[in-house]
Amino acid sequence: MSKVWRLVFVCSGNICRSPMAQGMAKKRLAEAGIEAQVLSMGTLDIPGQRASRLAIEVSAEAGVDLRDHVSQGISLGILEQADLILVMEEAHRRYLGALRSDLPPIELLGSLDPEEGSLEMADPIGGSREEYERCLRRIDRSIQQLVRRWPKEGG
């Protein structure tokens, strides 16, 4: 039986970037036949919020349904069980590192994007539809790279 990998995406509010990444990762991993548990959370600890309207709309256009997303703050218990934590900004990595120094590997999701020089994923909150679309394209490119490097067997 192969291992079920656990990924956690972290952004600030858990209403734009990390839910879009969670949804896109679930889609791309399923397409690749990879079983994984994929979660998201936010450093600002704003529980119970829906994904932003534009995050829901642009994700739906890409075949990702965020209508049932509910934001959550950081859960150390979940993070400790992760195989990989993917953050949107260096500030998120620093925040998590300050909470616990022995967490699983933490990477900037944008570092996987082969087309963009910036390692950080710009926050589209309050921005235009085009900013959300650009953000989702970056997330998707990054996740496709993650799927390409995915361990083929558990462990």
Domain boundaries, the chain: 5-148
- What is the predicted pLDDT for the residue at 76? 95
- What is the predicted pLDDT for the residue at 117? 81
- What is the predicted pLDDT for the residue at 95? 97
- Sheet containing 36-42: order of strands: 36-42, 5-11, 84-87, 106-108
- Contact partners, residue 25, CB within 8 Å, separation at least 6: 7, 9, 36, 38, 143, 146
Q: Which fold has domain 5-148?
A: Rossmann fold (3.40.50)
The Cα 37–Cα 79 span in angstroms is 12
The pLDDT confidence band at residue 52, using thresholds 50, 70 and 90, is very high
Has this prediction a pTM greater than 0.85? Answer: yes
Please check whether residue 114 is in contact with residue 146, taking contact to mean a CB–CB distance below 8 angstroms.
Answer: no
Indicate whether 152 pLDDT > 90: no
Q: What is the mean pLDDT of the chain?
A: 94
Task: Report, as an integer, the average pLDDT of 77-88.
Answer: 97
Please check whether residue 18 is in contact with residue 39, taking contact to mean a CB–CB distance below 8 angstroms.
Answer: no
